[in-house]
Chains A and B, each alone.
Chain A
Amino acid sequence: MRTLKDIPMNKPKLVMIGNGMAGVRTLEELFKLAPDMYDVTVFGAEPHPNYNRILLSPVLAGEQTLQDIVLNDWSWYEEHQITLHAGWTVTAVDRQRRIVHARNAQGDTCQTPYDRLLMATGSNPFILPIAGNTLEGVLAYRDIADTQAMIDAALTYQHAVVIGGGLLGLEAANGLMLRGMQVTVVHVLPNLMERQLDAIAGKMLQKSLEDRGLKFLMGAQTQALVGHQNEGQSGRVKAVQFKDGREIPADLVVMAVGIRPNTSLAQDMHLHCDRGIVVDDTMQTVTDARIYSVGECAAHRGVAYGLVAPLFEQAKVAANHLAQFGIGRYTGSLTSTKLKVTGIDLFSAGNFLGSASGRAEDANCEEIVMSDPSAGVYKKLVVQNDRLVGACLYGDTVDGSWYFKLLRDGRSVADIRDQLMFGESNIGDAGHEGHNKAAAMADSDEVCGCNGVTKGFICKAIKDKGLFTLDEVRKHTKASASCGSCTGLVEQILMFTAGGDYSATPKTKAMCGCTEHGHQAVRDAIVLHQLLTIPDVFKFMAWGTPNGCASCRPAINYYLISSWPKVAKDDPQSRFINERSHANIQKDGTYSVIPRMWGGETTADELRRIANAVDKYKIPTVKVTGGQRIDLLGVKKEDLQAVWKDIGMPSGHAYAKALRTVKTCVGSEWCRMGTQDSTQMGKDLERAMWRMYAPHKVKFAVSGCPRNCAESGIKDVGIIGVDSGWEMHIAGNGGIKTEVAHFFTKLKTAQEVLEYTGAFMQLYREEGWYLERTVHYVKRVGLDHVKRRILDDAEGRQALWERLQFSLDGEPDPWFEMNKAAVDTRQFDKLTIS
C-alpha cells in the first residue's frame, strides 16, 4: 500500500526496514520527540501492520484473536504520514548512493533514497538441517502465517510434534493441544527450558504439562522427517524419525529450536555482524553512522536480546538520537522470563543455576531452596557475596518482581537473608484489601486503593492499549501511580496479561523522562562539580527538556540546597505548592494550617489565639492530628499570612518534606510508670531539628518507658526511655507500608540522643534520594551501612551532627521571616481587573 502525499523536499528521509515491534516503537518514540522531522518510509515483509508477536501464543491457544493483537493499525501509518510498503522485501541497499531497493510478491520493484536508515529486521527461526525439513506441514513458529497454518492444521489433522522444549516450543505445544491435537514435544536435552529453569523446576514443569495431556520425548535426537510420497521424500509429513531408530507419527511438525538474528541483508551491505548487526550504545551500527539497528537483529555489547522490554529501551535511545537530542545511551538490560501457559506459574531471572552452572566465577554461589513437590511449589534463590544474583520460582511466583528488583539493585541482602525466601508480600501493605497474589484475584477486586482501580480494568487496558511497562500502566490506569504500595501487584498483573517478556529493565532507573540519569548520578554531579543552580545541573548533565518537569525540579532543588547549605539558593518555583505556600493544599484549593506545638504541649494562651483565628477567618474545620497538633482546615490562600500572624506560633512544616512532629508521651514528670522525661527530650529534639528539609517527611517520637505510648516503633526515629537511658530505633514507618523500626543502639544521655539522631538525619539528608522515606533509604543502603557510619565511626558521627547544625543554624521560620525564606508573597494576593 502506498499513500501519496506532499513532501517538502528539505525534510530528511528516514527509511525503516522491518515493520515489527522494535522498529515501530522507535518510530513512536521519535514522533513523541520530533513529530515532523523526517519523511518516513517503512518496508515490512509481512502483509500486516505491526502486531504484538508475544501474543501469538494466546492466539494459538484460542484465548485472543489476531485482531486483538494488532498494535498499530493501518490508520496509524496514515495519521503519521508514513509511506508503508507492507508485503515488500528489501532486496539490496546501496550504501554509497543511499538507496533501498525492494520487491513485492508481484515482482514490482521500487527504489527509495534515505538519509537515515533503521534496520529492524528481527530474527529468523532456526530450521534443523535434516532431511524432510521442507515437507508440507513442517513449520516454524514465528509469525501470523505460521500461527494461522497451525490453527488450520489442527482442524484436519491429529498428530503434532513440536521439536524444542524451550519457551516457544512449549507455548506452541500447549496451544495445539488446546486446539484438540495430540502433541508430542521432542527435546534434545534431559530438561525442559534449560535456559530458564534448573533441573528440578524443569521436571516439575514437565509433570504438570504431562498431567494436562502433553507427551514428551526427552533426550531424543531428530534424524529426519518422513513424507507421504516418493518414498518419504515429498508430500505432507507423516512421521518423525530419531537417531535411535524410533519413529512417531506426525501430521504437523513445528520447529522451535531457537532463533537467529536476521542479518543476511546487513551482511550483503557489508555491515559488521557478529551474533547480530553490531551497534554501539547509541544504537548506531559500528560500520555506518547513518544506519541504526534495534531489536532482535541488533547485537549490543555481544548480546542480541529476544525479549520485548530491552527492545523498547533500545527504541527509546535510537529515537532520541534520530531526533538529534543526543542524550540517550543504552547500556544493556537484565532480563527475566515467564511462561505464557495459563495456569502455570514460573519465573526465572539472573544466574538461576548458581554453583551448578560449572563456571569458575559461580563457584562461591550459595543457594536458598524451598521445595514442596506435592504442593507443586519450588523456589530457589541464588546468593553470591551477600547479593541476590538469581532466582528460579515454580508454582508460586508472587515475589518474582521483588526478587527481580533486588537483583537489579544489587543491594546487600545480608540483613534480610533469613526472610528472603518468604518474600516481601507478607509484610503489611495497606490499600488493596490485603491481596498479595494477583492471579488469585477476581476481575472486580481492587488492586489500587488510592485510585480505585480493579484488576479487570488493568487487564483490559493492557490488552486494549498494548501496554508493556509499569510506567505505561501507571499512565493509562493510574494504578500504583499514587502511593505505589500496589506496585508489586500491578507488575504481577502485567506479567500475566502481557506475557513474561515485559520485565527487563535498564540497569539504573532514570530520575524522570527528562534525563537518562538516576538520582545518585545527579546528586554525585552536584557534589563533585559544585553545581549550584538548577540550570547548571541541566546544562552539565545535558537535560532533555529546557526546564525539567514537576518531578525532577523539586528533586534537584533539594539536592542543591542539601549539598550546598548557605551557598545554593532555594528556588521556590521548583517546589511543590505546599512548600511554596507553606501550607497544605486541599481538594478545593484552600489550605490547612498546622502550627508547631513543641513535643505536643500547648497552653491556654495558644489555644485562645487559635480559637480566635478560627472565628475571625471563618475556618470551617478544626481537627486534632495524629501527631499531637491542631489542624485548621479550609483557610483561604489570601488569609494565610494573617492567620499565621494572629496565631503567632511557629510553622509546623506539616506541608513539607521536613521534620514534622515529635510525638511524646507525658513521661516521668507525671506518669507513675515513666522512667524518663520524654516530653522534655521530645521538645529538645524538635527544637534542635525543626526547619530541617529532608528527602521526604520525617517524624520522631519519644516514649518515657517501654509501654511506648508515643508509638516510637513506627517512626523515622523512635526513642524509648528505659531505666538506664534511652533506646534508639530507626527507619520505622506507619504509613503505606507499616514497618517496625529497627533497634539501632542504646544511649545513656539526652545529649547522646541529640547527637545520634542528628547524625542519622544528616546521613539520610546526604544519601537519601528525593521522596525516599527513611524506611526505603535504609532498605536500599542496608542497616549495616548506617551502623558503620554512626555507631562505629565516632568522628564521622560528630562530623555529621555538626554538618546538620551548620545547615540549620539561622534557618528562617517561613511564616514570619518570609524574605529570608524566599517566600514570594505576591502569590497570596489575587490580581483584579482594573
Chain B
Amino acid sequence: MNASDPVWKTICRLEDIPVLGARRVSRPVGMDVAVFRNEADQVFALLDRCPHKGGPLSQGIVFGSSVACPLHNWTIGLADGCAQGADSGCTPRFAVRIENGMVCLNAQELEQLALDAQAPLAGPAHQSC
C-alpha cells in the first residue's frame, strides 16, 4: 500500500444507523460528522452543520437522498451537501465506503476536513463573544 492510498476508519455497522435516519460521529478536532442512511441503504456523510445557520443536519428528517434541516427546514442534498430549491450554500461532504456491512470514513478527511467550521452558539456563550 503506498502512502497516498486513503486509510478507511470503521465507524459502525450499517444497521447502527436507522433507515431514513442518521448518527453523529465525533472527531478529536473539529465539528461532528453526520452519517445518513436512506431507504436504499446508501450511506452519506456530511459535516453536521447546515450551510444556513449551522443547524445539526443529523437531527433532520431524511427522505429520498435529502435531509431537511431541523432548524429552518432547508433541504440539503445528501450526495453533494448543497441546499436545494431556491436556497444556496453547501456543507462539506465526506467520502463513505461500506465494506462487509461496516461503514467507513476516510481517515485523512476526518483529520483534516472542515476543521475551522464554527459551531453555532446560543445562550450565555453567545453573549460572551
Q: Does A832 contact B (CB under 8 A)?
A: yes
Question: How distant is B102 from chain A, measured CB to nearest CB, in Å?
Answer: 10
Residue contact B122 to A547, C-beta cutoff 8 Å: no
Residue contact B122 to A831, C-beta cutoff 8 Å: no
Residue contact A587 to B122, C-beta cutoff 8 Å: yes
Q: Does A620 contact B (CB under 8 A)?
A: yes
Chain B residues with a Cβ closer than 8 Å to the other chain, count: 49
Q: Does B60 contact A (CB under 8 A)?
A: yes
Q: Does A834 contact B (CB under 8 A)?
A: yes
Q: Does A329 contact B (CB under 8 A)?
A: no
Complex partner residue of B26 from A545, A548, A832, CB under 8 angstroms: A832
Chain B residues near A574: list those with CB within 8 A: 20, 61
**CB-nearest residue of chain A relative to B121?**
A588
Please, what's the 1-or-0 string for A543-584, where 1 marks a CB less than 8 Å from any CB in chain B?
A: 001111110011000000000000000001111110011000
**Chain A binding site: helix, strand, loop or mixed by DSSP?**
loop
Bound together, the chains give a CA A545 to CA B65 distance in angstroms of 11
Q: Does B42 contact A (CB under 8 A)?
A: no
Bound together, the chains give a CA A462 to CA B121 distance in angstroms of 34
Q: Does B98 contact A (CB under 8 A)?
A: no
**CB-nearest residue of chain B relative to A535?**
B39
Residue contact B63 to A589, C-beta cutoff 8 Å: no
Tell me whether A831 and B19 are in contact in the complex, defined as CB-CB below 8 angstroms, given that A576-B70, A586-B122, A588-B119 are known contacts. no
Residue contact A547 to B123, C-beta cutoff 8 Å: no
Tell me whether A475 and B85 are in contact in the complex, defined as CB-CB below 8 angstroms, given that A634-B123, A830-B25 are known contacts. yes
Residue contact B124 to A620, C-beta cutoff 8 Å: yes
Residue contact A549 to B12, C-beta cutoff 8 Å: no
Q: Does A81 contact B (CB under 8 A)?
A: no
Q: Does B77 contact A (CB under 8 A)?
A: no
Residue contact B124 to A621, C-beta cutoff 8 Å: yes
- Give the residues from 42 to 95 in chain A that come closer than 8 angstroms, CB to CB, to chain B: none
Chain A residues near B28: list those with CB within 8 A: 833
Chain A residues with a Cβ closer than 8 Å to the other chain, count: 37
Please, what's the 1-or-0 string for A137-172, where 1 marks a CB less than 8 Å from any CB in chain B?
A: 000000000000000000000000000000000000
**CB-nearest residue of chain B relative to A832?**
B26
User: Which one of B53, B56, B110, B123 has the highest number of Cβ atoms from chain A below 10 Å of its Cβ?
Assistant: B123
Residue contact B9 to A834, C-beta cutoff 8 Å: yes
**CB-nearest residue of chain A relative to B68?**
A550
- Give the residues from 26 to 61 in chain B that come closer than 8 angstroms, CB to CB, to chain A: 26-28, 32, 35, 38-39, 48, 53-56, 59-61
Residue contact B21 to A831, C-beta cutoff 8 Å: no
Complex partner residue of A588 from B32, B70, B122, CB under 8 angstroms: B122
Q: Does A490 contact B (CB under 8 A)?
A: no
Chain A residues near B70: list those with CB within 8 A: 576-577, 585
User: Which one of A475, A585, A590, A831 has the highest number of Cβ atoms from chain B below 10 Å of its Cβ?
Assistant: A831
Question: How distant is A434 from chain B, measured CB to nearest CB, in Å?
Answer: 25
Chain B residues near A549: list those with CB within 8 A: 61, 63-64, 68, 75
Please, what's the 1-or-0 string for B90-129, where 1 marks a CB less than 8 Å from any CB in chain A?
A: 0000000000000001010010000000011111111000
Complex partner residue of A546 from B12, B25, B27, B39, CB under 8 angstroms: B39
Residue contact A832 to B63, C-beta cutoff 8 Å: no
Tell me whether A830 and B26 are in contact in the complex, defined as CB-CB below 8 angstroms, given that A588-B122, A590-B122 are known contacts. yes
Tell me whether A620 and B123 are in contact in the complex, defined as CB-CB below 8 angstroms, given that A547-B39, A824-B18, A826-B23 are known contacts. yes
Chain A residues near B11: list those with CB within 8 A: 831, 833-834
Residues of A within 8 A of B (CB): 475-476, 482, 545-550, 553-554, 572-577, 580-581, 585-590, 620-621, 633-634, 824, 826-827, 830-834
Starting from the known contacts A553-B63, A589-B56, A827-B21, 7 additional A-B residue pairs (CB-CB under 8 Å) come to A573-B61, A589-B119, A620-B125, A621-B124, A633-B122, A826-B16, A830-B24
6 residue pairs bridging A and B, Cβ less than 8 Å apart: A475-B85, A550-B68, A576-B70, A588-B121, A634-B122, A834-B10
Residues of B within 8 A of A (CB): 9-12, 16, 18-21, 23-28, 32, 35, 38-39, 48, 53-56, 59-64, 68, 70-73, 75, 85-86, 105, 107, 110, 119-126
